[in-house]
Structure 1
């Protein structure tokens, strides 16, 4: 987390904002994230994770192809 986030509204309720940013689990309170910094929900993946990608968009066609056999 970058220091800029200390001023973000998500940290307003914390007394020691810098400490919360350092701990980095305030955005995901699950046990794996708190204890081991492991993200099981895949919302906070590190760039080197095999499941992390650079794309931020997905087309409707890609969704249809992926879910066609579900």
Structure 2
């Protein structure tokens, strides 16, 4: 019997699809420049957007580590 008689199915590895979706950066409506509350809300939205992005990077890092890449990742 040949060692090449049967072939294993190769299944590609991919990270979670949600982690590969790009979230657009929050944009400030020019009409909001006269409103302190609107500027504060925009700053909060930017901060939350950035935090979500870095959490995604951390998840992708942990996914890569779980799939054999030698990398140090932040804890969840």
Q: TM-score, normalised by structure 2?
A: 0.20
Higher normalized helix content (fraction of residues): 2
Query: Which structure has the larger Rg over C-alpha atoms?
Result: 2
If asked which structure has higher relative contact order (CA below 8 Å, sep 6+), I would say 2
